[in-house]
Structure 1
Amino acid sequence: MGKPNVGMLVSQLREEEKLLLRAFASHGIDPVRLTDRKLQLELTDLTWLQEMELDVVLDRCLAHGRAGIVLQALDVAGVRSVNTRRAAVIADDKVECSLILGARGIPTLRTFMAFTVESALEALEQVGYPAVMKPVAGSWGRLLGKVNSPGAARALLEHKRQLGSYHHSMFYIQEYIEKPGRDLRIFIVGDDIVAGSYRSAEHWVTNVARGAVSAPCPITPEIAEISMRAAKAIEVEIAGVDLVETPDGLKVIEVNGGAEFKGLMSTTEYDIAQHIVDYVVNSCSDSQSSSLNGTYSASKQSMANGE
């Protein structure tokens, strides 16, 4: 098998994407860049996509909604993506993520969904104060709210309801953990844990995008076990698993499909970008390529037949 034809779905070339391009270059590969803001997707005829003859596309798109649509088109056209559309959609949906983690018996935070102010207040009473409210989709620690009392909760809920958006009328409510000023980000590629970091901040939101500081986190058997179980449950191949230390042991906060690794780079000498690229390239092995080409050909033939 020759060099695979690789695509990379991007929003912009940040430091991480430049490192990935450099790693692809070490394989003699110059990925086709699919820039989300420039794409014009003809949905009723995907011949243009099939004619690109892509073997695999690495998703690095910042806009998860856009990514979901592009990954869906790739899926229909028979083009493999990392992560898959299914994995990306599950990871981006906090509700589905919580449901799957709970159903698989993976330790996670107690979480409720409610659709009215009154039912949300009842759910908050069950969770106990303080509690955390989050949007059902989102990243970088944005739009998180910590409520310390029923009065504060009602004010926040009424404010969200007045915004009028469908998403602001769905209340995702989670227990608050008094953590030791830090949480854990574990980065997984395939079956390997590539790196781990403690993310510390004075604020209760310990997200690097919000100013948290990263430090090396030794990977213990407990960390490895819960992180891999979570990633496999959500079906992500490249993942950032966020954990929190509790009196009852580690619990999963969430599983990120479009995980960033900038903060992790300061905590390890391991070449994360190279590991990602090696995984993507190696996924195009002879056996997998044959399977993918069969899917591609069948998909192309089905479209030609109007199926």
Structure 2
Amino acid sequence: MGLASRKQEKLRIGILGTSRSTHVQLLAAALQSLKAEVVLISPTRLTVHIPGPLAVEAMPGSEPGLETLNALLVRSLPGGSLEQVIYRVDVLRRLENLGLTVINRPAVLEKTVDKFYTSALLADAGLPVPRTLVTEQFTRALETVKELGAVVVKPLFGSRGQGMVLVDNLDVAYRVFRALELGRYIYYLQQFLPHANEDFRLLVVGKEVVCAMRRRGNSWKTNIACGAVPEHVNPDPALSRLALKTAEVLGADYLGVDILICNNQPYILEANGIPGWSGLQSVAPVDIARVIAGYAVDKCLEKEKMGYSRSRRVSKWS
């Protein structure tokens, strides 16, 4: 029996995101079913006071401050200017420093929002990733197409397969890379790996792979948003170990891990620190929002059990 099923003082858990998001709504309902009080927080309305007993507020005059929550689930970090993006992550760091449990931690979000950073960390840990070249140099990018024959050009920041282009022709590469150069983009190029138009998404929560799916596409893109069809699978133990190791390396509480098989060799394509699960839920035998909510509640109760109460946290920092 998990801690979430025990009687406890009502927990206050925030969700950072928009109330219009289906994932936010599902998480809110799941948390409420576990008797937690849910606080919805817009990521664009955070205000920080330095110093002061009210350290971070979600809107003018809100009381108490967000640091008095038991936990904060991050479901959205919207794009914006460089200052806006850095500020929002810094606010999460501020909350973490004040003692708040943030899921996923800001360090994890920084690692997973940037495909280059993710791939480098996984490769450095000895995990299999596709051959990748990252550069700002137009000529070096062209040389990579000559060397590898076919590459997938990806935006450093992006999801759902949007903006990915398969380039296997030097003339096409020239036009694509010139366009990227005009926009001052980074060239993030991964060797194209034949994969029968399918790959796997595994969802890790805590130290467990809670569900997985095979995604079958009509083209080399296997994202559900690009028309791929999900199919529930019980993943091969080797794939589960890879997903769990990925989460361990990145320090994630929960993580979506995409793995492709080429010539019987698995490769980790991406790791998502704010994973969506609509496609996976359509075939999964578990209630994903309930699993994540239960994990968050259990983590809060473990922390309270260790004596780190909200009252102690506030008195320490006020």
Judge same fold: TM > 0.5, yes or no. Answer: yes
**1:100 aligns to 2:121 (yes or no):** yes
TM-superposed deviation, 1:2: 1.6
Residue in structure 2 matching 1:27, options 24, 28, 34: 34
Match of 1:51 in 2: 65
Q: 1:289 to 1:35 in 2, by over 3 A?
A: farther
Q: Name the CA distance, whole Å, in 2 between partners of 1:136 and 1:239.
A: 18
In structure 1, stretches of 5+ residues that fail to align are none
Match of 2:146 in 1: 125
TM-superposed deviation, 1:232: 1.1
User: 3-state SS of the aligned residue for 1:180?
Assistant: coil
In structure 2, stretches of 5+ residues that fail to align are 1-7, 57-63, 80-84
Match of 1:82 in 2: 103
Structural mapping, 1:245-256, within 5 Å: 245-256=261-272
**1:197 aligns to 2:218 (yes or no):** no
- For residues 75-128 of structure 1, the C-alpha deviation after alignment (integer angstroms, 9 at most, x for no partner) is 2332111000001110111111111111111111111111110111223333x1
**Superposition CA RMSD, Å:** 2.3
User: 3-state SS of the aligned residue for 2:238?
Assistant: helix
Residue in structure 1 matching 2:160, options 140, 144, 147: 140
User: 3-state SS of the aligned residue for 1:31?
Assistant: strand
Residue in structure 2 matching 1:15, options 2, 16, 22: 22
Q: Name the CA distance, whole Å, in 1 between partners of 2:130 and 2:249.
A: 16
**1:188 aligns to 2:209 (yes or no):** no
TM-superposed deviation, 1:300: 5.0
> Is the contact between residue 11 and residue 37 of structure 2 (CA under 8 Å) also seen in structure 1?
no
Q: Name the CA distance, whole Å, in 1 between partners of 2:259 and 2:175.
A: 30
Match of 2:259 in 1: 243
TM-superposed deviation, 1:266: 1.3
User: How many residues end up aligned between the 2 structures?
Assistant: 296
Match of 1:5 in 2: 12
Match of 1:278 in 2: 294
User: 3-state SS of the aligned residue for 1:285?
Assistant: helix
TM-superposed deviation, 1:35: 1.5
- For residues 228-278 of structure 1, the C-alpha deviation after alignment (integer angstroms, 9 at most, x for no partner) is 111111111111000001114211001111001110111122111111000
TM-score normalized with structure 2 length: 0.86
**1:61 aligns to 2:76 (yes or no):** yes
Residue in structure 2 matching 1:264, options 280, 294, 297: 280
Amino acid at match of 2:137: T
> Is the contact between residue 202 and residue 243 of structure 2 (CA under 8 Å) also seen in structure 1?
yes
TM-score normalized with structure 1 length: 0.88
Match of 2:60 in 1: none
Amino acid at match of 2:121: I
User: 3-state SS of the aligned residue for 1:283?
Assistant: helix
Q: Name the CA distance, whole Å, in 2 between partners of 1:259 and 1:124.
A: 31
Q: Name the CA distance, whole Å, in 2 between partners of 1:299 and 1:161.
A: 52
User: 3-state SS of the aligned residue for 2:159?
Assistant: coil
Structural mapping, 1:219-238, within 5 Å: 219-238=235-254
Q: 1:263 to 1:62 in 2, by over 3 A?
A: farther
> Is the contact between residue 98 and residue 313 of structure 2 (CA under 8 Å) also seen in structure 1?
no
Report sequence identity in percent: 24
Q: 1:199 to 1:67 in 2, by over 3 A?
A: farther
